[in-house]
Amino acid sequence: MAADVRPDTARPTDEIVDVLIIGAGASGAAVAWSLADTRMRILCLEQGDWIKSGEFPSNGRDWEARRYAEFDISPNRRARDTDYPINDANSPMKIANFNGVGGGTVIYTAHYPRMHPSDFRVRTLDGVADDWPIDYWTLEPYFADNDRVTGVAGLAGDPAYPPHQPTMPPVPLGMTGTRYARAMNQLGWHWWPSDVAVATTEYDGRAKCINLNHCTPGCAQGAKASVDITYWPSALRAGVELRTRCRVREITTNEHGMASGVVYFDGKGVERFQPAEVVILAANGVGTPRLLLNSASARFPNGLANSSGLVGRNLMLHPWPQVFGYADAEVDGDRGPQTVMWSKEFYETDRARDFVRGYTLQFSRGTGPANEAITSMIFGRLPWGKEHHRVFRTLHYRRLLIGVACEDLPEEHNRVTLDPILKDGHGIPAPKIDYTISENSRRMMEHGIARASEILTAAGATNISCSRTMLNSPGHLLGTARMGLSPERSVVNAWGRCHDVKNLFIVDGSIWVTSGGVNPTSTIQALALYIADSIKQRLATLFD
């Protein structure tokens, strides 16, 4: 291999590794796990901590409050010392993430749909954006591997998907899901129990779900499949090294234009150099372009791997309106996993509509009393004063909530750049987000809001309202280092290698060409496994 170590540094230099992975989240864990069987020396640097199950909010009486504190989905509010700030003031959708072993899977809802076959062929089928250089069938075996490692609850036979077999029975419908299902049957619309990365039976050493509901800010039971308890234990047992509280500042290159390693700050704040033969970026669709742009040098003045000028561009965030209604009697409330079922009735393009592509409807259970009160206060459903208690009783444990997961098409003006002022705790320039919701997305959102309102009405709900953007932070960070065959129109090739730097790979959501209308984690991880396999199959010619 060609990479060498910078000899001119006064920084402490660590022993060279074969593979250096930046980020221990969904994709970093999957690629580490897959590469471990090569017996190469593999190191992962993660800026955050391990989160112990005893630290999750549902262990304590303050469980609802802590989702607005150190387990908030916004890094700006959470503001742990392991977080970096993000200037998202110029975006109607705010950025959600989590920095720690497990990354975003620590705080995701675990809704786990795959992309659909059509999602990889939007140019061919619908004449918009670009086709992916790979397809669903390329990823299909990796979806299956990923489902097996993760443990996915669901039900085979969904007519909206190619056949696949979830590894555990679906989460219960409950009273809430039964209401939704009756309404969908009345309307004649498709629904199916969601694929959910929650253990509904004991699975691979993990305990089964006991209906804590609080899936998003971490699962104290360990039933939710965050990668700190799925991929990482196996990867570590296989010899992968994982160092926490190590924040990478830049990727360095040598005179051959190859990545030579990274400069990072260790847990004591000491700036160090870690040499590596291969560098794999797994830092999500905001962190990855931030790092590439922060790695600008005389050799790569516009940022590393950015000869196309597309690093940071085409950011896709998934507009995700939430439509609320309230039943006339108690339903599940905060008993049970949040996500129940999905509908793909409006997923595929219908030329009779005024938009292309489509959306998933994601059906959710309710929430706890404090969160019900807080969100209802924000949206004006819950008054202050003498009427407070009467109105609260019409809301508590009666919530029905449908999310409209809209496909977000790529637009170059939606982008991540470096903020000229804002920096993280190590003085590294922070990312800045410039994002607008497209006209196509707005039409799609309104269509979905109208359909969700019809469903809620059919389910017997009243007091129907919608949050178009206020709660619209799904944390799906996609598209900012896109995959493609042309070095002029993409950042990485069809198997994740940067066109410009042949020992630099990207495996996170930034390589997505289009976004689909689904939660991305399942597909991000299948892609990471596919790229790892591509690396393993090409070891002798990896840099050709």
Partner 1 sequence: MTEDPGAELTSTEARDLRRLAAFMVPASTEHGMPGADDAAIFADIVGSLGRDRDAVRNALARLREIAGGDFAALDEAKAEAASMTLLGRGGPLMTALGRAVLQCYYRDDRVLRALGLEPQAPFPKGRALEPGDWSLLDAVRGRARMWRDVDDERR
- When the beta carbons of 178 and 436 are compared against partner 1, the nearer one is 178
Among 151, 193, 321, 509, binds partner 1 (CB under 8 A): 193
User: Is 174 near partner 1 (CB under 8 A)?
Assistant: yes
CB of 501 to partner 1, least distance (A): 30
Residues 422 and 404: their CA atoms lie apart, in Å, by: 33
In the complex with partner 1, the residue whose CB is nearer, 142 or 273, is: 142
Q: Does 334 help bind partner 1 (rule: CB under 8 A)? A: yes
Which of the 8 DSSP states describes residue 308? T
Of 40 and 470, nearer to partner 1 (C-beta) is 470
- Residues contacting residue 342 through CB under 8 Å, at least 6 positions apart: 111, 113, 191, 192, 194, 360, 361, 362, 363
210 counts as binding partner 1 under rule CB under 8 A: yes
Contact 407, 515 (CB under 8 A): yes
CB of 491 to partner 1, least distance (A): 24
Q: Which stretch binds partner 1 (CB under 8 A): 1-9, 307-315, 344-352, 529-537?
A: 344-352
For the CA atoms of the chain, what is the radius of gyration? 23
Per CB under 8 A, contacts with partner 1 among 136-165 are 136-137, 155, 157, 159-162
Rounded to whole angstroms, the Cα distance separating 531 from 470 reads 36
State the Cα–Cα distance between residues 414 and 278, nearest whole angstrom. Answer: 30
Which C-beta is closer to partner 1: that of 63 or that of 231? Answer: 63
The continuous run of DSSP H or E covering 378 comes out as: helix 369-378
Does the protein bind partner 1 through residue 232 (CB under 8 A)?
no
Tell me the C-alpha distance between 475 and 487, whole Å. 28
Q: Which stretch binds partner 1 (CB under 8 A): 207-215, 264-272, 459-467, 493-501?
A: 207-215
**Residue among 221 and 453 whose Cβ is closer to partner 1:** 221
Which of these ranges, 263-271, 330-338, 482-490, 530-538, lies near partner 1 under the rule CB under 8 A? 330-338
- Dihedral, CA of residue 135, residue 105, residue 490 and residue 302, to nearest 10: -170
* Near partner 1 by CB under 8 A: residue from 351, 386, 421, 544: 386
What part of residues 38-67 is at the interface with partner 1 (CB under 8 A)?
A: 56, 58-65
Closest approach, Cβ 79 to partner 1, in A, equals 7
Q: Which two tokens stand for residue 143?
A: 């979806």
Residues facing residue 408 across a β-bridge: none
Q: Which residues pair with 89 in a beta bridge?
A: none
Q: Which stretch binds partner 1 (CB under 8 A): 110-118, 247-255, 296-304, 505-513?
A: 110-118
259 lies in the site for partner 1, by CB under 8 A? no
Report whether 511 contacts 502 (CB < 8 A). Answer: no
CB 368 within 8 A of CB 212: no
